[in-house]
Amino acid sequence: MVDKFSASLGVRLRAARRQRGWSLGEVELYTTGEFKASVVGAYERGERALSVQRLVRLAEIYAVPASDLLPVATSDRTTVIDLDALAGSRGDDLIDRFLAAIQFLRREGSPDEVRDSDKAVIASLLESSVDAASGSD
């Protein structure tokens, strides 16, 4: 059975590998066998435990910070933002572009996933839009 953390870590590992444009076999070739394709695939499916040392090494290979590969802890509280309703509703190109970027970046996982950091940026953009519309500083 795959736990939520391992599955989330696997999604992030797969996204980092695909960002490089590599197949599993190409990872094995690039690392001259240090990481076997079958093992990397098992990490990505969350079927195999990954040590911190191996995680850091994969991050180096993929040229990303190791912290970017770690899943973000989530709370049990759920906030739902209807991205389709928000997009275009304010006529704000900056918000529309940010929402499109969220949807693009989340294509590896849940495309409707909006993280706390995304919510903070959206709130900031909405506040800026309100300020600009009202003429306040």
Q: Identify the CATH number of the domain in which residue 32 sits.
A: 1.10.260.40
pLDDT digits (tens, 9 = 90+) for 22-81: 999 999 999 999 999 999 999 999 999 999 999 999 999 999 999 989 987 655 555 566
Q: What sign results for the dihedral spanned by CA atoms 33, 34, 39, 43? A: negative
Task: Please name the residue that has the structure tokens 């990490």.
Answer: 43
Of 25, 52, 53, nearest in space to 39 by CA: 25
Q: What is the pLDDT of residue 52?
A: 94
In a domain, 18, yes or no: yes
Q: In which domain, by residue range, is 31 found?
A: 4-69
In a domain, 88, yes or no: yes
Spacing of C-alpha 131 from chain mean position: 30
Domain total of the chain = 2
Higher-scoring residue by pLDDT: 127, 24: 24
Is there a single domain that holds both residue 24 and residue 57?
Answer: yes
Residue 112: pLDDT over 60: no
Q: What is the pLDDT of residue 79?
A: 59
Tokens encoding 72: 């973000």
Is there a single domain that holds both residue 100 and residue 53?
Answer: no
Assess contact for 111 and 103: CB atoms under 8 A.
yes
Is there a single domain that holds both residue 58 and residue 101?
Answer: no
Q: What is the pTM of this model?
A: 0.55
**3-class secondary-structure state, position 1:** coil
Is there a single domain that holds both residue 32 and residue 87?
Answer: no
Return the exposure string of 109-135: e unless at least 16 CB atoms fall within 10 Å of the residue's CB, then b. Answer: eeeeebeeebeeebeebeeeeeeeeee
